[in-house]
Chains A and B, each alone.
Chain A
Amino acid sequence: KAGVTQTPRYLIKTRGQQVTLSCSPISGHRSVSWYQQTPGQGLQFLFEYFSETQRNKGNFPGRFSGRQFSNSRSEMNVSTLELGDSALYLCASSLEEAVEQFFGPGTRLTVL
C-alpha cells in the first residue's frame, strides 16, 4: 500500500507571496492532519480534515488555510508569506477511528 505523498517536496518563495501544498493520504484513510515543524518549536498542529470538513484547528493565523476533497486529498494554503513561515510542512493521515497517524515526507518551504 502506498504511503502518504506530498507535493512539492521543496519550495522557495518570497515574502508576500502565497503557496499551496498538496497531500495524498494512504488509500482508505479519511483523516488528514497538517503540521508545521521548525527547529525551535517542534511539531505544531495546524488543522485536521475529515470527510471534507475541518474538524480541528491549531493556533495559527488565518493566513493558513486548508481544504479536503472528496477523494480525501488535502491542500493547505499560506497567504502573504512571512520569513517565519519557513519550515517543514508535514501531512499525516489516519483511519477514521484511529489516532495513529502516518506521515508523508513533507514539503520544505523557504521564504526569502
Chain B
Amino acid sequence: QKEVEQNSGPLSVPEGAIASLNCTYSDRGSQSFFWYRQYSGKSPELIMFIYSNGDKEDGRFTAQLNKASQYVSLLIRDSQPSDSATYLCAVSPSYNTDKLIFGTGTRLQVFP
C-alpha cells in the first residue's frame, strides 16, 4: 500500500464547475497535509495546507481533512481553464515530521 494515494485522472470538469480532488494516506498519525499545483513543465507550487479536521477555505480553494477516514480533499470552486494542472497531495508522516511524502498527483482538465 502506498503511503499517499491519488487517482491519476485525468479529471475533466467544465468551466465554472466544482472540481473535487481526493487523497488517502496510510499513516494514521500524520498531522500535516498539503496540496501543491504543478503546471506542465513547471515545479510544484504550494496552494493549501491543513492541520485540523474539517474545512479550510482560501479563495476558490477548500481543503477538507478527515483524520478518522485518513482522507484529505481539495475542492476548487468556479473552475477555470487556468486551473488545469496536476495536483499533488503531500503528507508529513508521524514517524518523521520533517519530511513530506507525495502522492503521484491527479491531472485536472477544465474545459471551456
Contacts and interface: CB of A to CB of B under 8 A. Distances in A.
A90 interface: yes
User: Which has the most chain A C-beta neighbours within 10 Å: B42, B44, B101?
Assistant: B44
A42 B100 contact: no
B98 A56 contact: yes
Given A43-B88, A56-B96, A103 B44 contact: yes
17 contacts: A31-B98, A42-B102, A42-B104, A42-B105, A43-B104, A44-B102, A45-B99, A45-B102, A48-B99, A55-B98, A56-B98, A99-B32, A99-B34, A99-B100, A100-B34, A103-B44, A104-B43
Contact of B97 (A33, A43, A99): A99
A99 B93 CA distance: 11
Interface of A: 31, 33, 35, 41-45, 48, 50, 55-56, 90, 99-106
Contacts of A48: 98-99
B43 A106 contact: yes
Interface in B39-55: 42-46, 49
A42 B103 contact: yes
Given A42-B105, A100-B34, A105 B99 contact: no
Contact of A45 (B34, B44, B101, B105): B101
